[in-house]
Structure 1
Amino acid sequence: MSRHRALRAKVKRGIAKWPVLVVVLVVLLGLSWLALSWAGGVLDRRSQALAQNCSEGDSVLRVAVTPSVAGAVRDVAQEYSRTRPVVYDHCIAIEVISTDSSAVLEGLTTTWDETKLGKRPHAWLPDSTLWANRLTALNAKLVGSAPKSVGTSPVLLAAPEAAAPVLEDFRWSDLPEVTDWNRFGQPWGRFSVAMPDPSANTASALAIQSALAGGKGPVTAESLGSDATKSALTKLAATVPPEVPATTRDALARLGDSATVNAAGFSATPVSEVDLFRHNTGKDAPSKPLVGVLPAGPAPVADFPYVALGGTEVGEAEERAAQAFRDFMTEPPRQAILARGGLRVESTQDRPAPSPGVAWSPVTENLVPADATTTQQISSAWASADRGGQVVTVLADVSTSMKPRLDKVKAALRGQVDRSVSGSFGLWTFARDLDGSKPYRQLVGTGPVGDKRDALRRSIDGMKTADGSQLYSALAACYEAAHDGFVAGRVNRVVVITDSTSDGGLDLEGLKSRLHGTDLAISFIAIGGDVDKAALTDVAQTTGGSVSVVEDVDGVEAALGQVLSTKA
């Protein structure tokens, strides 16, 4: 018995280890969570302190916005400010500037007038990529990043309430053909669509592009030069009413003031959906809203691109902040704000209400837009057809430095001649001693392009380079001839294509002394970095012209289209 008790005495009942390990693990996890929370709180407080102090100070990001969506973008900017954004140790504040896109483009590419426009912007939100294309054609270095759409708006036909139901089956391709309300069984007489200058009014530009596409598009450089397209442009220009308002807003105002169809002097006008919404609901809204008709078939669409700008005036902080604000604006909660302002966005089908005159009809197919270069060519082709076209004299640099570039310059000139519907065109070249001791040669005198098309083609093909570059002497002679042949009632201009500075003959002051004012504009297309941009800008501003700066010769065709599409 004692032996059994001894054995039992040696056996000890132990405690299981796994519950202890679980308890220890839970305690450690809890302590870790507390430590991380404490550290996170410290980091948050430090981050907030840094945001409040901003070691590099405050920085204002100025965004120029087309007026139709400026209010909605301001609402987005207020939300962005509440996130207390910090970029490169700068506290960022957003300033939204409501400005017409034509004024922004002119200011960016000439001299920015702070008394009229405020301080120069770091980003731009126009209503269409057409404006970004124009800026690129004039000076590609001013575009800091690829444009990104923040919303869309189809182009409608705005008409008085009585006329709108009649236009249900209207197509943009009908624009060149329909000239009378009898087509729709109505006794209202002439049917005409007011097209405010397409170089300054997006809806007009997109409507013309859609009319020429004849379907889903796109319009191409080849199709633009076809006889069918030139015929359509001629017919379309003939349908334009005698007095066209300068802007889409003016056209809407005149239509809204008219009690009956055609009382405004025209029947309808193209307008983006959001612009019509703002017109009908704004502080100056008409007592009887205009009605927007979505024409049948592929719809031209304004894409409202956000463009971060470049150039020496934009610092690293502003450049980075511009991109950050762009990304913020395309997030679904901010897209909803833009939708309430009248844009269409993918993340919501919500529409603002009330919206008199705007039905928000579904768009089943978008027009495929023309590429960047062709859009400029469409505008210049329209300018050549509208009201008899322009009177254009081109002075082309054929100095030795142009030799690797000359073939593409010749192609750009030939394309312009081929696409011109009407108007007058002339061609000069310059170098040194081209015609005896003269540094210039008149290849084709300025005259109706229809009569001179073949001569212009032959002369362009025969252009060859020579030594020297006496630009100012050649320009003075070319300008005097263009001034002597001035055609009243038309846009008259001299366009100079060059890649070099003047190296002899008349100096800048001598040239300026021979200029006669702003009725005959001189515009320059400057290729590369060897031109004297300051001198060219001086001459252009003296005459009311412009300077387009292209980094290489590939940009000449778009730049030429842009220059010839403007009314001034």
Structure 2
Amino acid sequence: MSRHRALRARVRRGVAKWPVAIVALVALLGLGYLGWTWVGGVLEDRAAAQAKNCSEGEALLRIAATPTIADSVVEVAKAWSAQRPVVYDHCIVVEVKSVEPQVVQDSLTTTWDEAKLGGRPHAWLPDSSLWANRLAAQNRALLGAEPKSIATSPVLLAVPEAGAQALMTGNSFRWTDLPDVTNWAKYGQAAWGRFSVAMPDPATNTATAMAIQSALAGASPTGKGPVTVEMLAMAPVKSTMSKLAAAQGETTGSTFDLLAKLSEKPEVNSAGFSGVPVFEVDLYRHNLGKAKNTAPAKPVVGVAAGGPTPVADFPYVPLAGEGVGEAEARAAQAFREFLMEPDQQKILARGGLRVESSKEHPNPSPGVRWAVTTENLVPADENTTQQISAAWATADNGGQVVTLLVDVSASMKEPGGDGKSRLDWLKTALKGQVDRSVSGSLGLWEFSRNVDGDKPYKQVVATGPVGQQRDALVAGIDGLQPVNATHLYSSLAAVYGSAQQGFQTGKPNRIVVITDGRNDGGIDLAALKDKLKELKKNDVVVSFIAVGSEPDRQALTDIAKSTGGTLSVVEDGKGIDPALGQLLSEQT
């Protein structure tokens, strides 16, 4: 019996109305949400636009940049300004000034000359952290934040083309060889005669300072640094320093002046010296005429020395103090962040600097090979950096004549940091200078009240050759004891008169006063200034290191300026050593 499939009738079903209503409601709600979101976005955009209207007006961000990098920073500043940056409801306007680091350093720590330099900067871009260290040694309160590098440039030895070919073949040049290399015979060119490197004052020329540090690094345990304060007191290191000073060539003029001489007289040694340390970026700028607007007929060639390479780190230094408010401080930080963006780093690279985010180098670049640096010198710490320059100052041209006048008032017993008194830190700093001094003359006086009978001062060790009286100086320093008051002005007048009588022609003669209090007896400031004028026969510079907040800084600045000296301000006893090193590194 067959089966038949049952046929089912098709039933037409109607659509219920309530689901349609729900869908319609959901759609309306969605459209409403989108509309509200759009309106909210419009309102946010409008609020942002209103913020861009700078309700607090414009704020000027002033940046002082070393000439090496100034043009590139100006280009970055234009790119940032095009974005109309706003900080704390201020529209930020960036002003970049090209100023030599030495001028910025001196002006920040003395008086900023607005007529000559424009407004005081809110940030500083020198070529090396050496400058930031020096600023910290003189007055750490001027640093608004920790400096950070935005680019680098290795130190090269700039020589004529023939000299470069000799140095890059056979016995290749190394910075650590520099103290012992006196003749081109080492590089197969005995006929060229003396091998000498021009070494401008390392207190003002950071390429020189870094080359010296690299030469000394050979004495470190690893041979690549860092140089330490303890090393500077070692006989082999002091011997190396003496050799360097004796073997150096030209010492006057800027790096660019010396490069110009090498270009004008391109035969080896015809300029009177064989070569000069230079930052790679500065050599690039010289050879293309970017430094002095005219390209030389003959480019100078840069030689990358073998071994650890000293590198300039171009730190961005936010500043604090006069004229730096919250808006300027935040704007300075924001601009540094912008400088580190890839597009802005490429601008720096096109200017001849090295940056991590780009391998680009400018083309053409005569005389510069952009050689890969495989090993960087480990730099010395902040204090050692100052002490290297100070040791060099005592080695160069027979050293300098320094008389120390130190405060032994009762307040020197107060805590100076790390569980030591101010006087303890002072003694450590003074003995360190005695140990590290290569040559020159050093003397020691103390002052308080009734230190020597009714005199507020006493000559502990007469100013004389440091090499002949190290033991006497150390014994005198160990014997310093706190007494009572601070009769500074009468004591300074006596020391100044003695320094005038013992003046040594042809050398820097200076008095360094270390004090933590105000003058509280004896002659007054007006009488002291009259006495200094009366006694003056020769140029004796008086500089001060003020410890803590008690000294009369305005009066000390006045006295220092009248003699060509400076005032360094340190928070506690720990700051005395680097500040003293900074002062003694100055060769004028």
TM-score for both structures, normalised by structure 1: 0.95
Asked if 1:457 corresponds to 2:474, the answer is: yes
Q: 1:33: how far off?
A: 3.9
Aligned to 1:223: 231
- Structure-1 separation of matches of 2:559 and 2:85: 44
Asked if 1:353 corresponds to 2:363, the answer is: yes
Kept in 2, the 8 Å contact 1:497–1:526? The answer is yes
Partner amino acid for 1:435? D
Kept in 1, the 8 Å contact 2:66–2:98? The answer is yes
Assess, with a 3 A threshold, how the Cα gap between structure 1 residues 286 and 13 changes in structure 2: closer, same or farther.
Answer: same
- Structure-1 separation of matches of 2:298 and 2:25: 78
Aligned to 1:37: 38
- Alignment map for 1:381-392 (pairs within 5 Å): 381-392=391-402
Asked if 1:175 corresponds to 2:175, the answer is: no
Assess, with a 3 A threshold, how the Cα gap between structure 1 residues 543 and 43 changes in structure 2: closer, same or farther.
Answer: same
Q: 1:510: how far off?
A: 1.2
Q: 1:39: how far off?
A: 2.5
Q: 1:24: how far off?
A: 6.4
Aligned to 1:129: 129
- Is the partner of 1:192 in helix, strand or coil? coil
Aligned to 2:5: none
Q: 1:389: how far off?
A: 0.5
Asked if 1:561 corresponds to 2:581, the answer is: yes
Assess, with a 3 A threshold, how the Cα gap between structure 1 residues 19 and 198 changes in structure 2: closer, same or farther.
Answer: farther
Aligned pair partner of 2:569 in 538, 549, 552? 549
- C-alpha offsets along residues 434-463 of structure 1, whole Å, 9 cap, x if unaligned? 111110110100010000111001111111
- Is the partner of 1:295 in helix, strand or coil? coil
Aligned pair partner of 1:536 in 556, 559, 566? 556
Report the count of equivalent residues: 559
- Is the partner of 1:62 in helix, strand or coil? strand
Aligned to 1:3: none
- Alignment map for 1:64-75 (pairs within 5 Å): 64-75=64-75
- Structure-2 separation of matches of 1:245 and 1:27: 83
- Structure-2 separation of matches of 1:26 and 1:454: 96
Kept in 1, the 8 Å contact 2:197–2:248? The answer is yes
Aligned to 1:160: 160
- Structure-2 separation of matches of 1:262 and 1:391: 33
Aligned to 1:197: 201
- C-alpha offsets along residues 123-146 of structure 1, whole Å, 9 cap, x if unaligned? 000001100000000001100000
- Structure-1 separation of matches of 2:295 and 2:476: 55
Kept in 2, the 8 Å contact 1:517–1:542? The answer is no
Kept in 2, the 8 Å contact 1:197–1:247? The answer is no
Q: 1:278: how far off?
A: 1.0
Assess, with a 3 A threshold, how the Cα gap between structure 1 residues 475 and 352 changes in structure 2: closer, same or farther.
Answer: same
Kept in 2, the 8 Å contact 1:525–1:559? The answer is yes
Kept in 1, the 8 Å contact 2:403–2:463? The answer is yes
Q: 1:545: how far off?
A: 0.3
- Structure-1 separation of matches of 2:302 and 2:231: 30
Asked if 1:327 corresponds to 2:337, the answer is: yes
Partner amino acid for 2:425? K
- Alignment map for 1:116-515 (pairs within 5 Å): 116-168=116-168, 169-186=172-189, 187-214=191-218, 215-241=223-249, 243-281=250-288, 282=290, 283-403=293-413, 404-515=421-532
- Is the partner of 1:175 in helix, strand or coil? helix
- C-alpha offsets along residues 42-68 of structure 1, whole Å, 9 cap, x if unaligned? 32233223323x121111100000101
Question: Any gaps of 5 or more consecutive residues in structure 2?
Answer: 1-8, 414-420
Aligned pair partner of 1:527 in 534, 538, 547? 547
Question: Any gaps of 5 or more consecutive residues in structure 1?
Answer: 1-7
- Structure-2 separation of matches of 1:16 and 1:154: 81
Structural RMSD (CA): 1.9
Partner amino acid for 1:104? V
Identity of aligned residues (%): 58
Aligned to 1:115: 115
Assess, with a 3 A threshold, how the Cα gap between structure 1 residues 21 and 266 changes in structure 2: closer, same or farther.
Answer: farther
Partner amino acid for 1:129? S
Assess, with a 3 A threshold, how the Cα gap between structure 1 residues 38 and 475 changes in structure 2: closer, same or farther.
Answer: same
- Is the partner of 2:543 in helix, strand or coil? strand
Partner amino acid for 1:429? E
Kept in 2, the 8 Å contact 1:197–1:246? The answer is no
- C-alpha offsets along residues 442-498 of structure 1, whole Å, 9 cap, x if unaligned? 010001000011100111111111011100011110111111111111011000000
Kept in 2, the 8 Å contact 1:138–1:548? The answer is yes
- Structure-2 separation of matches of 1:80 and 1:92: 9
Structure 1 window deviating more from structure 2 (23-32 vs 162-171): it is 23-32
TM-score for both structures, normalised by structure 2: 0.92
- C-alpha offsets along residues 515-566 of structure 1, whole Å, 9 cap, x if unaligned? 2277110000000000000000000000000000001111100000000001
Kept in 1, the 8 Å contact 2:401–2:442? The answer is yes
- Alignment map for 1:69-84 (pairs within 5 Å): 69-84=69-84
Partner amino acid for 1:44? D
- Structure-1 separation of matches of 2:301 and 2:31: 66
Partner amino acid for 2:77? A
Q: 1:411: how far off?
A: 0.3
Q: 1:38: how far off?
A: 3.6
Q: 1:25: how far off?
A: 5.6
Kept in 1, the 8 Å contact 2:503–2:538? The answer is no
Kept in 2, the 8 Å contact 1:207–1:270? The answer is yes
- C-alpha offsets along residues 410-450 of structure 1, whole Å, 9 cap, x if unaligned? 00000000000000000000000111111011010001000
Q: 1:382: how far off?
A: 0.5
Q: 1:11: how far off?
A: 10
Q: 1:113: how far off?
A: 1.1
After TM superposition, which residue ranges in structure 1, 4 or more long, deviate above 4 angstroms?
A: 8-31
Kept in 2, the 8 Å contact 1:496–1:525? The answer is yes
Kept in 1, the 8 Å contact 2:500–2:538? The answer is no
Assess, with a 3 A threshold, how the Cα gap between structure 1 residues 453 and 19 changes in structure 2: closer, same or farther.
Answer: farther
Aligned to 2:417: none
- Is the partner of 1:364 in helix, strand or coil? coil
- Structure-1 separation of matches of 2:27 and 2:165: 74
- Structure-1 separation of matches of 2:23 and 2:127: 63
Q: 1:29: how far off?
A: 4.7
- Is the partner of 1:176 in helix, strand or coil? helix
- C-alpha offsets along residues 77-123 of structure 1, whole Å, 9 cap, x if unaligned? 01110111111111100000000000000000011112222211110
- Is the partner of 1:513 in helix, strand or coil? helix
Aligned to 2:95: 95
Kept in 2, the 8 Å contact 1:518–1:542? The answer is no
- Structure-1 separation of matches of 2:489 and 2:563: 14
Structure 1 window deviating more from structure 2 (273-282 vs 493-502): it is 273-282
